[in-house]
Structure 1
Amino acid sequence: MYRPTIAVAGLACETSTFSPSRTQAPAFHPRRGNEIIEKYPFIQPGSPLGESADWRGALIGHALPGGIVTRHAFEALSAEILSRLKEMAASVALDGMWFDIHGAMCVEGLDDAEYELLKRCRQVIGPDVLVSASMDLHGNVSRELAHQTDLITCYRTAPHVDVAETKERACRNLLDLINRRRNGEVFRPYKAWIPLPVLLPGEQTSTRDEPAAHIYAAVPEVEAIEGVIDAAIWVGYAWADEPRNRAVVVVTGWDKQAVSTGAEKLARIFWDSHKDFRFVAPTGTFAECLDTALRSDKRPYFISDSGDNPTAGGSGDVTWGLTQLLMRSEFKDESGPVVIYASVPGPEAVEHAVKAGLGAVVTITAGADVDDTHAGPLTMTGRVHSIKHGDRHAATEVVLQVGSVYAILTKLRKPYHLERDFTELDLNPRSADIVIVKIGYLEPELYNMASDWMLGLTPGGVDQDLRRLGHRRILRPMWPFDHDFGEPDLSSKIIEMSNEELVIS
């Protein structure tokens, strides 16, 4: 039985153009060859997909969200992807490629980095090789990117609990498409693409809440229509200022009318609800959040310091929140309400605390090395509560107790999403009064742990107040930047690719 050969390649990084930080090549932690296959169980030997095709890793890189990717980093990683694809294509006939991306990667000097990368890959693998892209629903799908792919899909949940499921679906659909070949002839599905003039932060579009809950509930209903292969809705990425940034619907399938009707149905459901999106939790200034938490009898009470969320593209080293916290009189004494704050990077501060050792009282300065727009470096005096080495993101972590505040300081920036992120630092978030995390919507473990929570509308590279950031290059009109404009064109744009040339109809 013939086993098709499928390459795996892609770069993923959610990047804010409003953050002064820059993302370098090492941040992608590149995987090559068999390292890629080892990352994904569903394409490993012994799995149904693994036994049905010969999966070959070129290079993938997944960076922690951050600032714009430097052109040098993009060119270096792209060149290696192309080189590995060339070597692969020279030794075996490629049938397909899984394009493993996020979709919101901004690169210096480029407006559509994922399209540019795929276009370069196409120049190596040729137009006959079938390509399936898997993406984050916070990615961006330009017409050009949709054109270069044969299949394209994204997550259906936010927070993202269907990451593996989505990537496996992209691979399964690709294999099914390859197996439709007859006598070497390539069959390509239709893609119905509809852009929507809506650009909202993820904290207003969580699928845990309405209206996103019922909007995304309609996706599998459309996918189930005869003649449809896949249906997807992207809300887009709000913290980058590029013309491609907006919501998009794409439906793929064999029946042109079915994909067109399905896409228009999803676009209509989305547009009809565009004024109904609200934040996933009560919001307020940082001071209002602290005041509310102190008055509440709910424990632990979580607060999102959302403007510097490192998993949305913030630099992670904005000190504004921690500075405001330590100025509060309620937390000056060790007997005050217990507050955990995560986190602020400070390599020199961490090194000094480690040398001083557990229990030592130290005066250290941390933060604002990258983003000092809103507050400068913060100097604190406190007791070293705990030290941890070897974290994948932070490298080294130190907890400094200042009054009743337990501030987590890191050598390198790190997101705090899991209970063990705290317990491994000898902190018990469940018994704390207040837990403050640089995050947007709470990730599942934190959400389940919180007795109550608020979303702090704090400053930073991923400020939830989009109009405060100053977008200048997105297409206008765009909700919620503009309110007084008529209904957009919600008709399908059918995109198809022939074997001989790329044609947009």
Structure 2
Amino acid sequence: MTNPRPRVAIAGMSIESSTFSPHRSGWEAFTLRRGDDLVRHYPFLADGAPLRDAAEWTGVLQARSLPGGAVPADVYESVRDEIVATLTAQQAEHGPYDGLLLDIHGAMTVVGRDDAESDLAAAVRAAVGPGTLISTTMDLHGNVPRELAQASDLITCYRMAPHEDAWETRERAAANLLDRLRAGGAPKKAWLQVPVLLPGEKTSTRIEPAASIYADVTRVAELPGVLDAALWVGYAWADEPSCRAAVVVTGDDEEVIVREAEQLARQYWDARDDFAFVAPAAPYDECVATALASDARPYFLSDSGDNPTAGGAGDVTWTLARLLAEPAFARPVEEGGRTAIYASLPDAEAARSVAASFAAGGAGAAVDVEAGARVDDGPHGPVRLTGVVEHVSEGDPDAGIVAVVRVGGLRVILTERRKPYHLERDFTVLGLDPRGTDVVVVKIGYLEPELYDMAADWMLMLTPGGVDQDLLRLGHHRLTVPTHPFHAFDAEPKLRAELL
């Protein structure tokens, strides 16, 4: 007897990787999930969830990493080849899959290769054949070259930045896939790229014009004859020809999806000069002076140039070196100084050294350690942390060893491995009180929701690094010409959608 439920595979590889960072995202950067472990990773596929019982889900392989530098070719090719080999073997044993959920980011750079996700999608398509529906789910900071859109039957991305709808988007991609398996196969796709490339900190949906544009994406998705609508900002910190904004509207009414795709693209193009930073943005000196002069506590400063969640190496010390030299933080509070937290600086050797001092002398043990700039020493070399260790913990699933070193009124979080600090508990588990601290400096772009809610005020600090917000000083030279704001335009772009 034939099982009435469709058979759906899950596979993918997800990372956002800056070509301007010397960091390399090798095997140590990736979490690999297979089989039931991969299926259970998706909350909407938990036991008892409606989508869980709507299909037979098979986890093939999904490799996921914190953003970082480019992926070595052998790492990417091993993941791709395992996905292809597993799909081929499973289909030889059980027959073709009805559908496949392809979970990617869209901004993966592989050393020596352009458009890695297009290569992955093409390999997956070749493995499953034309009869399997592929639904691709992506980050809105990904790139969508024609080849990627062509290889996918359905394709969608987040509609919020920060990405509070990440799981909702994956669920939508899965639900759309099941809907089309029940009701009519692959829809049409209206695809076009928009010659604009901006950083996420200028395109946050918290503010205009992105707030209104993405509200319109939702409106389009709900029109009769439309299945889904998606608008990608693109990834600004890679230097590849595909890096630019893109629109895809999927559905069965060709006239509607083409019209609406072009209308969304036109909105985005027309607003290109209206996008602004999501918060007041300024160089280091102005940001620190403003924070110290303000009565708002805690005052958050975003060390944006080395944001590990955008692809920065995470160990750039340019900002920390200046904080260590700030008179307000050099003095202990009892001597009239101010308090600050710096989150964070990865350096395995330094973290182990501080942990050894803590083991020998406990909290308050003196430390004198050189740290940082082991990977990205372009903006500044290592810094010297001369102070006392207040806390050490081991076994953090992301950071490994975590130490808190106090230098005057400044507490530096030193980690064995890169880790973003997005949650209040990331600080409190270390004995730190961010709410009671004068200035909290985090390596991030726009503040994630918990930090945003915690901050009495904040600024985006324009600092150097692999994800520098000043795109023009990074040196892109491989973008498709013309792309705003890198090139002048002789005429308005045509912005005509192609039916795929």
TM-score bracket relative to the smaller structure: over 0.9
Match of 1:486 among 491, 496, 499: 491
Match of 2:79 among 77, 80, 83: 77
User: Given the two structures, how large is their TM-score scaled by the length of structure 1?
Assistant: 0.96
Mapped to 2, the partners of 1:24 and 1:219 lie a distance apart of 36
Q: CA deviation at 1:124?
A: 1.3
Q: CA deviation at 1:466?
A: 0.1
Q: For residues 188-235 of structure 1, give each alpha carbon's deviation from its aligned partner in whole angstroms, at most 9, with x where no partner exists.
A: 211001211100000000000000000000011111111100000000
2:148 counterpart letter in structure 1: L
Match of 1:169 among 155, 158, 172: 172
Mapped to 2, the partners of 1:424 and 1:388 lie a distance apart of 9
Corresponding residue for 1:381? Answer: 386
1:94 counterpart letter in structure 2: Y
Match of 1:294 among 287, 292, 296: 292
Q: CA deviation at 1:347?
A: 1.4
Q: CA deviation at 1:146?
A: 0.3
Match of 1:470 among 462, 465, 475: 475
1:103 counterpart letter in structure 2: G
Corresponding residue for 1:501? Answer: none
SS in 2 for 1:216: helix
Corresponding residue for 1:446? Answer: 451
Corresponding residue for 1:112? Answer: 115
Mapped to 1, the partners of 2:258 and 2:60 lie a distance apart of 34
Corresponding residue for 2:354? Answer: 353
Corresponding residue for 1:402? Answer: 407
Match of 1:100 among 85, 100, 103: 103
Mapped to 1, the partners of 2:347 and 2:319 lie a distance apart of 15
Match of 2:318 among 296, 317, 320: 320
Corresponding residue for 2:207? Answer: 209
Closer/same/farther in 2, CA of residues 303 and 128 from structure 1, 3 Å limit: same
Report 1:149-160 matches (<5 A). Answer: 149-160=152-163
1:14 counterpart letter in structure 2: E
1:34 counterpart letter in structure 2: D
Match of 1:122 among 121, 125, 149: 125
1:141 counterpart letter in structure 2: V
* Greater Cα shift, 43-52 or 25-34: 43-52
Match of 1:369 among 365, 374, 380: 374
Q: For residues 59-90 of structure 1, give each alpha carbon's deviation from its aligned partner in whole angstroms, at most 9, with x where no partner exists.
A: 00110000000001101111211121112111
Corresponding residue for 2:54? Answer: 52
Mapped to 2, the partners of 1:44 and 1:302 lie a distance apart of 37
Mapped to 2, the partners of 1:132 and 1:419 lie a distance apart of 35
Match of 2:36 among 34, 37, 46: 34
SS in 2 for 1:46: coil
SS in 1 for 2:70: strand
Corresponding residue for 2:89? Answer: 87
Q: For residues 391-430 of structure 1, give each alpha carbon's deviation from its aligned partner in whole angstroms, at most 9, with x where no partner exists.
A: 1111111010001100110001110000001001110000
Mapped to 2, the partners of 1:480 and 1:99 lie a distance apart of 32
Contact 1:69 1:108 in 2 (8 A): yes
1:282 counterpart letter in structure 2: P
Corresponding residue for 1:343? Answer: 344
Mapped to 2, the partners of 1:224 and 1:29 lie a distance apart of 35
* Greater Cα shift, 464-473 or 35-44: 35-44
Q: CA deviation at 1:44?
A: 3.5
Corresponding residue for 2:282? Answer: 284
Match of 1:425 among 407, 430, 441: 430
SS in 2 for 1:29: strand
1:172 counterpart letter in structure 2: A
Over the matched positions of the two proteins, sequence identity in percent amounts to: 54
Mapped to 1, the partners of 2:467 and 2:305 lie a distance apart of 5
1:309 aligns with 2:314: no
1:127 counterpart letter in structure 2: P
Corresponding residue for 2:198? Answer: 200
> Which 5+ residue runs of structure 2 have no aligned equivalent?
none
Mapped to 2, the partners of 1:108 and 1:86 lie a distance apart of 26
2:433 counterpart letter in structure 1: N
Report how many aligned residue pairs link the two structures. Answer: 490
Q: CA deviation at 1:484?
A: 4.6
Mapped to 1, the partners of 2:251 and 2:169 lie a distance apart of 17
Mapped to 2, the partners of 1:56 and 1:49 lie a distance apart of 13
Q: For residues 10-62 of structure 1, give each alpha carbon's deviation from its aligned partner in whole angstroms, at most 9, with x where no partner exists.
A: 00000000000101123211001111111013124422111111010000011
Contact 1:346 1:365 in 2 (8 A): no
Q: CA deviation at 1:485?
A: 3.9
Report 1:449-460 matches (<5 A). Answer: 449-460=454-465
Contact 1:29 1:63 in 2 (8 A): yes
Match of 1:178 among 178, 181, 203: 181
User: Given the two structures, how large is their TM-score scaled by the length of structure 2?
Assistant: 0.97
Mapped to 2, the partners of 1:327 and 1:269 lie a distance apart of 46
Contact 1:68 1:105 in 2 (8 A): yes
> Which 5+ residue runs of structure 1 have no aligned equivalent?
182-186, 496-505
Contact 1:341 1:435 in 2 (8 A): yes
Mapped to 1, the partners of 2:48 and 2:443 lie a distance apart of 40
SS in 1 for 2:183: coil
Mapped to 1, the partners of 2:7 and 2:259 lie a distance apart of 34
1:400 counterpart letter in structure 2: V
Q: CA deviation at 1:385?
A: 1.0
Match of 2:247 among 239, 243, 249: 249
SS in 2 for 1:69: coil
2:281 counterpart letter in structure 1: T
Mapped to 2, the partners of 1:391 and 1:39 lie a distance apart of 19
Corresponding residue for 1:461? Answer: 466
1:16 counterpart letter in structure 2: S
Corresponding residue for 1:500? Answer: none
Mapped to 2, the partners of 1:346 and 1:180 lie a distance apart of 53
Mapped to 1, the partners of 2:65 and 2:44 lie a distance apart of 22
Q: CA deviation at 1:350?
A: 1.3
2:366 counterpart letter in structure 1: V
